[in-house]
Amino acid sequence: MKTRRTFLRQTGAALTGAMLLPALPGCAPGSPLAHIKGQLWGPDAATGHLLRDPSRIPAPSRTVETEVLIVGGGVAGLAARRWLHRHGQPNTLLVELASHTGGNSAAGHNATSAYPWGAHYLPVPDVRNRELLDFLQEIGTLTGYAPSGLPIYSDYHLCHDPEERLNISGHWQEGLVPAVGLSTTDQQQFARFFKLIEDLKAARGRDGREAFCIPLDHASADNEYRQLDQISFADYLVRENFTALALRWYLDYACRDDYGATATQVSAWAGLHYFASRKGRAHNATGADVLTWPQGNNFLVEHLRKQATAPLQTGTLAYDLRETATGIEALLYDVATRQSTRVRARQVLLATPQHIAHRLLATVPGHALLPPGALHHAPWLIANLTVEGLPQGPGRPLSWDNVRYGSASLGYINATQQALQQEDGRSKVITLYWPLTEEASGPARRRAYQTTYAEWLPRVVAELETYHPGVTKHIQQADLWVWGHGMVAPTPGLLWGPARAAAHQPLRNRIFFAHTDYSGISIFEEGFYQGIRAAREILATASSIS
């Protein structure tokens, strides 16, 4: 069992590693990390920041027209584009700042394997999420329905066993719920918590709707549950006497995993939602199972993209937006050609984070967007490490998700988990997830942007060494990716305060909004839902006009 002292010692070690950075330029010849190749990747923050000072961008040299301009090619934007394509509005133009669409569901690949640069799994969905199930069926993830009516998922897309393991004091146990060295009190608290979750899964409010569900907009408005959004998850746990250290670690881990924020930072409603909303059912899997791919959710967003043929421009920044008599006019800057284009559209869908939408609508009145800084987005570091051999400790073998109790990062997933080939001792790719939650998101983000590859690498390697002592010499390549705005955190009051719902109200049937920022929870299902919601709003105006 981990004690507070060992935790402090390990944290101390990590800090020492961080302080050594200036003296240890990672890739210098002769350093113990000199053999590791790699580089630092990340979204094009510099181009994105042009938005702050658009006067540096050249004036438009041509004009194009479209019915619906979609700004932002993340899950919400792609889902909206697909939905519009299928429901009578194929005349759209999607622009995306990054060189790839898919937002957080980015992916890369090397000679060993494809690997995710962000979102990497989808829990077995709720069977009532019709739109999502249909999409999964179209792309072969859902292969059919059993006579019971339950969906059957492809064996190749359901996460292969062994799924999860947790390293406690050097020993790997199965599953992420700590099971080794628990006192009776600890065990009772775990049992009480999971009983609470089972009750909450079944709970319905006085309005007859479920207390927790995905998408969360369908959840009950009953104040009995919504008032849980007013306090932090950490305070709630103290109030309900969930004090066991192991339980608190586990729940904090869950919050960091799904929200990039700690139990102190997210609301109790959100903390419980993580567990109580997992109601997926399937003929050949349970709600606890997940769907995953070597390239992570890039598999899903690539299919979303391919399911519509409307034009799509990456590497393109939308930097100005104004209303005209017939619709809207937007200015786009092509990062590659360094030229600007004017777009005339009847409608625009802003499928961007709220702070981007806020800047774009600087001169547009009437919106209720939250100002930049109002939403908490923790920065994330993702490391894809190509390792030749991974020295294993005692206990369970390499699994899909590998976490160390008390670790600063969230642990790593094995990108080669779904591979069907026989293990041959050749290299594999593991993906380390690290939300930078130690300090407030603003300073953390600035620091993350300023940190160089040579400074990150020793930290990443030191972290992996706590998982597998001696692993350094097995690391062949370490590519790193920093997300400045990783994902929105459902801080207290965000989900069920009035501001969230108000923010995505369409403006004069011309400007629409879709992004997980409007859900307050950044998961594929919510992005997919937000995109379809906005697309339906757009289609509704079209039918009302005609």
In the complex, the residues that contact another protein under the rule CB under 8 A are 155-156, 158-163, 284-285, 289, 397, 420-426
Least distance to another protein, CB of residue 430, Å: 16
Least distance to another protein, CB of residue 397, Å: 6
Q: Which is nearer to another protein, 409 or 418 (CB)?
A: 418
Question: Tokens in use for 22?
Answer: 């200036």
Q: Which is nearer to another protein, 184 or 422 (CB)?
A: 422
Q: Which is nearer to another protein, 159 or 357 (CB)?
A: 159
Please state whether beta strands 164-168 and 401-404 pair in parallel, antiparallel, or not at all (unpaired): parallel
Least distance to another protein, CB of residue 152, Å: 11
Least distance to another protein, CB of residue 159, Å: 6
Q: Which is nearer to another protein, 143 or 505 (CB)?
A: 143
Question: What is residue 371's DSSP assignment?
Answer: P
Instruction: Please state whether the peptide bond connecting residue 116 to the residue before it is cis, i.e. omega within 30 degrees of 0.
Output: no
Q: Which is nearer to another protein, 162 or 178 (CB)?
A: 162
Contact 81, 69 (CB under 8 A): no
Sequential DSSP letters for 231-267: SBHHHHHHHTT---HHHHHHHHHHHHHHHSS-TTTSB
Residue 238 dihedral angles phi and psi, to the nearest 5°: -65, -45
Least distance to another protein, CB of residue 420, Å: 4
395 three-state secondary structure = strand
CA pair distance 479, 140, nearest whole angstrom: 31
Residue with tokens 């800084």: 373
Report in angstroms the alpha-carbon separations of 68 from 61, 80, 168, 485: 21, 10, 53, 26
Report in angstroms the alpha-carbon separations of 42 from 39, 45, 137, 258: 10, 8, 32, 20
Question: Tokens in use for 55?
Answer: 């006067």
Q: Which is nearer to another protein, 12 or 144 (CB)?
A: 144
Least distance to another protein, CB of residue 21, Å: 38
Q: Which is nearer to another protein, 420 or 545 (CB)?
A: 420
Least distance to another protein, CB of residue 127, Å: 18
